[in-house]
Amino acid sequence: GQNIDQPTEMTATEGAIVQINCTYQTSGFNGLFWYQQHAGEAPTFLSYNVLDGLEEKGRFSSFLSRSKGYSYLLLKELQMKDSASYLCAFYTNAGKSTFGDGTTLTVKP
């Protein structure tokens, strides 16, 4: 079957670094996405990994290990506006997608 897990909540301090982990199980894996979702808003795209390794985009980086079914999102130099839910999602060759329930990140001063 298909399964995806990520922590429910995390708290970090402004200016710090935080790593949000995501583990998944699926067949026909086609890629893993990370989205940011502020309360009451739609998800917005952050990153995409299809091959193993680290993808860096400014303050945000995402890592993928396909053999371990593992990904993480790394947020550096945290800002108050980074307080949001972070969703990981994998996509399969069959055109289906599965989202985790999201990790609610609270950034404190």
CB of 17 to another protein, least distance (A): 24
Binding to another protein by residue 48, rule CB under 8 A?
yes
In whole angstroms, how close is the CB of 16 to another protein at the nearest point? 25
Which residue, 40 or 109, has its beta carbon nearer to another protein? 40
Contact call for residues 56 and 64 (beta carbons, < 8 A):
no
Cα 99 from Cα 75, distance rounded (Å): 20
Three-state SS at 7 = coil
Q: Say how many C-beta atoms besides its own lie within 10 A of residue 61's C-beta.
A: 19
Figure out which of the listed residues 21, 23, 30, 83 binds another protein, where binding follows CB under 8 A: 30
1 binds another protein (CB under 8 A): no
What residues does 54 pair with on adjacent strands?
63
Q: Restricting to residues 78-97, which ones interact with another protein according to CB under 8 A?
A: 87, 89, 91, 93-97
